[in-house]
C-alpha cells in the first residue's frame, strides 16, 4: 500500500528520501511491482522528473537510463536481435510500455528472459550517489541490501557481442521452463546463463574456453526441479538449447 508519494525534481532530493529509515521508501519507475496489491506500507519516489529515460550509443557501449521502458529499448535499432527476442518474451506490449529497465532487473526472478540476457551480456549498473558501478552479476544476490539509500541511474552494456537466447515453455508466450542466454565477445570470452527456475538467472560459465558449455548447463540444472519441471527434464532440454544457442552465435555477427 502506497502511503506517501513524492516526485522530486533533483537527484539529491530523491536520494534524501530514499535514505530515510521510516517510512520504507522505494523508487517508482513504471510501477508494475509497486502498484500491485500489498499489505506493506511504503512511500514512493517517482523518478519521472529525473530524466533517466534515455538511451545513448557511446563508442562500443550502449547506455540505458534506469527509467527507460522495455519498449523504448526494444524499439532501438542497434540492440542484438536476441535481446529484442528476450524483451518480447519478458512482457506483453502493454507492460513493455511502462516497465523500466532498472525495475525489471531489480525485481527479476529466475524466469526473467530480460534478466538472463542482461546477465549474459555482463551488464554494468551505475548507482547514485557517487556514480558507483557494479556488475549485474554481483548485484543480483545482494540486490535488496545494495539498494539501501541508493538508486540505479544507468545500465551499460557493450555492443560487438554475439548473443543468443533460447527457451522452452508450455506455449511460445509463456514464461520459460528452462532458458539459456549465451554471449561471446570478439576476444573469445563466453558467458552462459541458465534460467527458468529459482530466485534469479544463474551464471553457469564465464571464460575463454567454451568447450564445457554442455557440462556447465547440466551442472546448473542438476537440482533445478520444481512444480513446473523436473531437474532431469531441464537438463535434457538445456543441453539442446545450449547447442542451438552456440550454433547461432557462431553464424550471427554482433551488433
pLDDT in tens, 165-224: 999 999 988 999 999 999 999 999 999 999 999 999 999 999 998 889 999 999 999 999
Do 218 and 174 share a structural domain? Answer: yes
- Of the pLDDT bands very low, low, confident and very high (cuts 50, 70, 90), residue 21 is confident
**Omega before 23 cis (within 30°)?**
yes
Residue 149 is predicted with a pLDDT of 85
Do 172 and 243 share a structural domain? Answer: yes
Residue with cell 576476444: 187
Q: Average pLDDT, stretch 86-104?
A: 95
Q: Is the pLDDT assigned to residue 37 strictly greater than 70?
A: no
Do 148 and 104 share a structural domain? Answer: yes
Share of the chain above pLDDT 90, in %: 80
Residue 38 is predicted with a pLDDT of 65
Residue 39 is predicted with a pLDDT of 67
Read off the pTM.
Answer: 0.93
Residue 255 is predicted with a pLDDT of 44
Do 42 and 54 share a structural domain? Answer: no
Q: Is the pLDDT assigned to residue 108 strictly greater than 70?
A: yes
Return the CATH number at 221.
3.30.390.50
pLDDT in tens, 112-124: 999 999 999 999 9
User: How many structural domains is the chain composed of?
Assistant: 3
Higher pLDDT, 254 or 228: 228
Do 59 and 139 share a structural domain? Answer: yes
Distance CA 182, CA 246 (A): 7
Do 33 and 83 share a structural domain? Answer: no
What is the CA angle 210-212-216, rounded to 5? 115
Do 91 and 142 share a structural domain? Answer: yes
Residue 26 is predicted with a pLDDT of 85
Do 153 and 59 share a structural domain? Answer: yes
- Of the pLDDT bands very low, low, confident and very high (cuts 50, 70, 90), residue 252 is low
Residue 250 is predicted with a pLDDT of 82
Question: Are 111 and 90 spatial neighbours (Cβ–Cβ below 8 Å)?
Answer: no
Q: Is the pLDDT assigned to residue 127 strictly greater than 70?
A: yes
pLDDT in tens, 47-63: 999 999 999 999 999 99
Return the CATH number at 42.
3.30.43.10
Question: What residues contact 228, with CB distance under 8 A and at least 6 apart?
Answer: 177, 196, 197
Q: Is the pLDDT assigned to residue 34 strictly greater than 80?
A: no
Q: Is the pLDDT assigned to residue 68 strictly greater than 90?
A: yes
Closest C-alpha to 110, from 213, 173, 246, 203: 203
Mean of per-residue pLDDT scores for the chain:
92
Residue 254 is predicted with a pLDDT of 46
Do 191 and 98 share a structural domain? Answer: no
Q: Domain limits at 115?
A: 50-158
Return the CATH number at 114.
3.30.465.10
The angle, 0 to 180 degrees and rounded to 10, between the axes of the packed helices 231-251 and 213-221 is 150
Residue with cell 547461432: 248
Give the 3-state secondary structure of the chain.
CEEEEECCCCHHHHHHHHCCCCCCEEEECCCCCCCCCCCCCEEEEECHHHCCCCEEEECCEEEEECCCEHHHHHHCCCCCHHHHHHHHHHCCHHHHCCCEHHHHHHHCCCCCHHHHHHHHCCCEEEEECCCEEEEHHHHHHHHHHHCCCCEEEEEEEECCCEEEEEEECCCCCCCCCEEEEEEECCCCCEEEEEECCCCCCEEEEEECCHHHHHHHHHHHHCCCCCCCCCHHHHHHHHHHHHHHHHHHHHHCCCC
Do 14 and 44 share a structural domain? Answer: yes
Q: Is the pLDDT assigned to residue 35 strictly greater than 60?
A: no
Residue 209 has a CB neighbour count (10 Å cut-off) of 9
- Of the pLDDT bands very low, low, confident and very high (cuts 50, 70, 90), residue 251 is low
Do 119 and 32 share a structural domain? Answer: no
Question: What residues contact 227, with CB distance under 8 A and at least 6 apart?
Answer: none
Q: What backbone torsions phi and psi does residue 202 show, to the nearest 5 degrees?
A: -115, 125
Q: Average pLDDT, stretch 104-115?
A: 96
Do 119 and 199 share a structural domain? Answer: no
Amino acid at each position: 500500500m502506497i502511503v506517501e508519494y513524492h516526485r522530486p525534481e533533483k537527484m539529491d532530493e530523491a536520494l534524501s528520501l530514499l535514505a530515510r529509515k521510516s517510512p520504507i521508501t522505494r523508487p517508482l519507475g513504471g510501477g508494475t511491482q509497486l502498484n500491485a496489491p500489498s499489505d506493506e506500507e511504503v512511500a514512493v519516489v517517482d523518478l519521472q522528473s529525473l530524466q533517466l529515460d534515455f538511451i545513448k550509443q557511446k563508442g562500443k557501449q550502449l547506455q540505458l537510463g534506469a527509467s527507460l521502458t522495455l519498449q523504448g529499448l526494444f524499439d532501438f535499432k542497434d540492440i542484438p536481435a536476441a535481446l529484442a527476442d528476450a524483451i518480447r518474451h519478458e512482457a506483453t506490449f502493454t507492460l513493455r510500455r511502462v516497465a523500466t529497465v532498472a525495475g525489471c532487473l531489480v525485481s527479476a526472478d529466475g524466469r526473467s528472459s530480460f534478466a538472463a540476457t542482461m546477465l549474459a551480456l555482463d551488464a554494468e549498473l551505475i548507482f547514485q550517489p557517487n556514480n558507483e558501478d557494479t556488475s549485474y552479476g554481483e548485484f543480483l544476490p545482494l540486490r535488496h541490501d545494495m539498494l539501501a539509500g541508493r538508486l540505479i541511474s544507468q545500465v551499460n552494456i557493450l555492443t560487438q557481442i554475439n548473443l543468443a537466447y533460447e527457451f522452452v515453455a508450455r506455449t511460445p508466450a509463456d514464461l520459460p521452463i528452462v532458458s539459456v542466454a549465451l554471449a561471446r565477445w570478439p576476444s573469445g570470452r563466453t558467458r552462459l546463463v541458465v534460467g527458468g527456475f529459482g530466485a534469479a538467472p544463474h551464471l553457469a560459465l564465464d571464460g575463454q574456453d567454451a568447450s564445457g558449455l554442455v557440462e556447465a548447463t547440466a551442472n546448473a540444472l542438476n537440482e533445478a526441479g520444481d512444480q513446473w519441471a523436473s531437474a532431469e527434464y531441464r537438463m535434457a532440454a538445456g543441453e539442446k538449447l545450449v547447442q542451438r544457442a552456440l550454433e547461432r552465435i557462431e553464424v550471427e555477427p554482433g551488433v
